[in-house]
Amino acid sequence: MSVTTERGGKSRRPQANDDEDDARQPLYAAPALDKGLDILEFLSKQEEAMTRRDIAEGLGRSVSEIFRMIDCLARRSYIVQEEDSFSLGLKLFELAHEFPPMNRLLKEALPRMEALAKAADQSCHLTVMRDGRQIVIAQVDTPEGIGFSLKVGAKVDLLKSASGHVLLAFQEAQEAERLISQAAPDLDEATHKTVLRTIAKVRKQGFAFMKSRQFSGVEAISYPVFDRRGHTVAALTVPYVTRLDDRDRPPAEDAQAALAETVARLNSALGSKGPKASGPQPT
């Protein structure tokens, strides 16, 4: 056991509760940074702009405590001011995309997505997991601009979407369970078993092909994108829409084949050798 020296040269042995005290308190306190991060995290969950008072009440602080933090974040474009209200800006989104692994993924994916949209005559989008949620990071519309599309930055339901099933299917079993619990903490046992069977099937066949559970007339086709270590980094999805006035549009099976080829080339460009995770098991 080590001996610590106090002021005045006296030494003492650590007491039994020293470790407990350290565990309860951060090693280095940074109150200003904590306030700034609290503001960003709070605004990220709001659908409308918030006033300083709204933010203060939401964080359980006084307006004077957060006044300078808000001013600093607005000055550096992390939040945007409109009259007397504030909303989250795109600075964090831009920083995330400048992060080398994300930048590499988008650089390799976007031109292939554009070629896919032309070949299949359908839109396509790329999603990733961030903080337990599935987020769209790239979207390419059909050449004619008529079809199903999602905005970049949109949050997609993890348990109801083909892309969500793909992202879950190729996770480590323990991580998949954690994500399911986080996405639906009140999920009943029967539905939980159904989810596990569904994603086990997706893993076995290597992709998801299903009728949308959220939009009528849409068939979602999704494939996993892996990094060089075999970890799932994204899902590339074609939300196939049948046009009643265009019988010459390639069928869903052709769109699936084009998507499979696109993802195979993308995985190759990223140096992937396929999935590494053992995956969740059906029950």
Pick the CATH number of 101-269 from 3.30.70.930, 3.30.450.40, 3.20.20.210, 3.40.50.720: 3.30.450.40
Helix (H, G, I), strand (E, B) or coil at 100: helix
pLDDT tens track for 224-236:
999 877 888 999 9
Share of the chain above pLDDT 70, in %: 82
Name the pTM for this structure.
0.66
List pLDDT tens digits, range 85-125. Answer: 999 887 776 666 555 567 888 999 999 999 999 999 999 99
Residues forming a β-bridge with 208: 222
Within a 13 Å sphere around the CA of 138, how many CA atoms are in the beta-carbon half? 25
Rounded Cα gap, residues 236 and 267, in angstroms: 11
pLDDT (tens digit per residue) in 38-67: 999 899 888 889 999 999 999 999 999 999
Cβ-contact 44, 88 below 8 angstroms: yes
- Exposure b/e, 120-153, CB count within 10 A at least 16 = b: bbbbbbbbbbeeebbbbbbbbbbeeeebbbbeee
Does domain 13-89 match CATH 3.40.50.720? no
Place of tokens 């999603």: 127
The residue extents of the domains of the chain are: 13-89, 101-269
What backbone phi and psi angles, to 5 degrees, belong to 220? Answer: -95, 130
Cβ 249 vs Cβ 208: under 8 Å:
no
What whole-number distance in Å separates Cα of residue 155 and Cα of residue 174? Answer: 23
DSSP tag of 165: H
pLDDT at 68: 92
